[in-house]
Amino acid sequence: MNNSKQYISYTLRGFVAFLFLISAVAKLYPSPYFAISTFEMKQLVPLGFSEGLAVYFSRILIGAEFALGLLLLQPHYLKRFVIPATIALLAVFAIHLTYTIFSAGNSGNCGCFGELLPMTPLESVFKNIVAIGLLIWLYKILPVGADRNNFAILTSVLFASILFIFMLTPIARQTSNTFDIGEPIPEEAALDSLATEPLAPITPTEATIPTAAIPATQATPATAATPATAATTPEAPAGPAQKKSVYSQFFAGADKGKKIIGLFAPGCEHCRETAKQLTEMKAKDKNFPDLYIIFMDEEADLIPDFFKFAGKEYPNKVLDVPSFWKVLGNSKDTPGVIYQWNGNEIKSWDGINEKKFVTSELLKALKK
């Protein structure tokens, strides 16, 4: 191989290897467990993968991307195996993304570079086609017989890369604080959720005085003559008909009257700012709905700092990442805010773009 072709070969290999390595790293951003769980729930589960299979497939896929990125930089079986395998993987991705565009449109993040570099499906298809073209060019300029023949290098790099991902992001077991969405909340969890809500103090007028403690001579005729049937019938609750929401399994009072549900990640700056805005709204209006918060179990140690920034502590639950995305919705992003009335969702917001939370929109919805 002459010097110019050799230079081109190294350049092409380096460029495509970089694409694969950055793709694998991006799927672990901003933190490995959070990123890989989000990838599973937003990309793999909607494709039909079961949750049990998705946790294995995601790690194997990311490990394979790491391996191909590294193997493109070495000479063993480069032309006979590594380049064809890389082209095949890119072609599968391109076909899937093309189908996604025709069936669901060119919207949302395809997940190829995780949350680090969001790309639409069409942008990713174009990227894959360019990479395939570069690999075909590389295949043609590599001379016949240029490969070295130590197959153990390939298998070692592949298995080491996959093992590294499994060690970096161990498959988490379900915890006792995690609930199956749609299932009734266990009694112990219901008591726990009630414990997070402060009890209103009992005033003297609300205290119950035992009847035996009142002398009979002190009873007035008016009191004695009051029939039991004189009690007034309580008014029917205002608003839409009562409905059971998914949030009632986490908070006993979630479906009673007007409530705000916040779905936040403890370390998310936008989530913190949203919680602070809600606290400020609540401080200005004594009739502002109660706020309940569901946290993602990612950087859960930051929850005290979250409440300190927000300016107030609220009843809350912490869910593992997959369960959190089930509640919020795989197609949505944090911060999530839901305004519901008697369990009926009136309005919701999510993410930081066109559907982001706006205080004026909430105030308008509350007045209806």
pLDDT band for position 256 (cuts 50, 70, 90): very high
In the predicted model, is pLDDT for residue 221 greater than 90?
no
Q: pLDDT at position 267, please?
A: 87
Q: pLDDT at position 219, please?
A: 41
Residues 163 and 158: their CA atoms lie apart, in Å, by: 9
Q: pLDDT at position 32, please?
A: 86
In the predicted model, is pLDDT for residue 225 greater than 90?
no
Q: pLDDT at position 145, please?
A: 84
Q: pLDDT at position 173, please?
A: 60
Largest CA distance in the chain: 118
What order do you get walking across the sheet with 344-350 strand by strand?
Answer: 316-319, 290-296, 258-264, 336-341, 344-350
Q: pLDDT at position 194, please?
A: 38
Residues 32 and 303: their CA atoms lie apart, in Å, by: 19
Range of 109-113, 236-240, 308-312, 331-335 with top mean pLDDT: 308-312
Residues 279 and 359: their CA atoms lie apart, in Å, by: 11
Paired sense of beta strands 336-341 and 316-319, if any: unpaired
Residues 245 and 342: their CA atoms lie apart, in Å, by: 9
- The pLDDT tens digits for 117-133 are 888 999 999 999 999 99
pLDDT band for position 172 (cuts 50, 70, 90): low
- What is the overall mean pLDDT for the chain? 83
State residue 75 phi and psi, 5-degree precision.
-95, -10
Q: Lowest-pLDDT range, 179-188, 269-278, 294-303?
A: 179-188
Range of 19-33, 147-161, 162-176, 318-332 with top mean pLDDT: 147-161
Q: Lowest-pLDDT range, 59-68, 214-223, 288-297, 347-356?
A: 214-223
Report pTM: 0.69
Burial of 207 (0-12, 13-18, 19+ CB in 10 A): exposed
The larger pLDDT score, comparing residue 33 to residue 213, is at: 33
Distance of CA 241 to the CA centre of its chain: 30
pLDDT band for position 34 (cuts 50, 70, 90): confident
* Secondary structure element (H or E) that encloses residue 294, with its range: strand 290-296
Contact residues for 126 (Cβ-Cβ < 8 A; gap 6+): none
State residue 76 phi and psi, 5-degree precision.
-75, 120
Q: Residues 350, 328: contact at Cβ < 8 Å?
A: yes
DSSP letter at 336? Answer: E
Q: Residues 333, 318: contact at Cβ < 8 Å?
A: no
In the predicted model, is pLDDT for residue 97 greater than 80?
yes
pLDDT band for position 192 (cuts 50, 70, 90): very low
Residue-level length of the chain: 368
In the predicted model, is pLDDT for residue 347 greater than 90?
yes
Helices (H), 105-197: 121-141, 151-168, 187-195
In the predicted model, is pLDDT for residue 182 greater than 60?
no
Q: pLDDT at position 188, please?
A: 38
> Which residues are 263's β-sheet partners?
294, 336
pLDDT band for position 187 (cuts 50, 70, 90): very low
pLDDT band for position 331 (cuts 50, 70, 90): confident
Burial track 59-96 (b if 16+ CB lie within 10 A, e otherwise): bebbbbbbbbbbbbebbbbbbeebbebbbebbeebbeb
